[in-house]
Amino acid sequence: MKVDNRRSVQIKAYILSFILLLEILLVISSQIVHKRMDELIVGAGILFSLVIIWKLIRFKIVILDISEHIVSIKTRHPFSRSINFPQMEVPLHKIFSCHLKDELLTTFLIVNIHTKNNVRSFYYKLGILSGKSANDFKKVLEILKTYKKEQMGSEG
């Protein structure tokens, strides 16, 4: 089973790109009309543009893929068409826990896996999920929990 946050990330990326383009057009048109701009306005515009560009660079689509024996997590940029190489690929039996954590304006996918000495946590920022995306991620996590319960039952 495969789920991702592609739709919400792409919508946010396109909206921010539109805002950035609109801001650039406003600065250029005001420069043409007024011939001179206040340094404070120019500085605020540059700072606002840099924040938007930084946000656009940091956007990531997270793809959670569960096959019969392996959990794979891949990330890619929303404007990229490149191949999705796994960020993490582990056997199902190594996963200790996996859950969603809602913060103020974002949701994190937290995956805890068994290593040689202890448990290691991996955090993946999903952003603000739509109701359908959140339900899809929750369904996949329930499948993982069911698998863990079945695995515990077969060991005991």
Q: Are 89 and 64 in contact (CB under 8 A)?
A: no
Q: Which of 64, 50, 51 is nearest to 126 (CA)?
A: 64
CA angle, 41 then 47 then 48, to 5°? 85
User: According to the model, what pLDDT value does residue 35 have?
Assistant: 66
Backbone angles phi, psi at 65, to 5 degrees: -125, 120
Full-model pTM:
0.76
Q: Are β-strands 70-76 and 86-91 bridged in parallel, bridged antiparallel, or unpaired?
A: antiparallel
Examine the pLDDT at 156 and tell me if it is beyond 60.
Answer: no
Extended beta strands in 56-94, E state? 61-66, 70-76, 86-91
For the chain, domains (ranges, CATH) are: 1-156 (2.30.29)
Band (132; pLDDT cuts 50, 70, 90):
confident
- Tokens (6 digits) for 27: 């600065």
High-pLDDT (> 70) share of the chain, %: 94
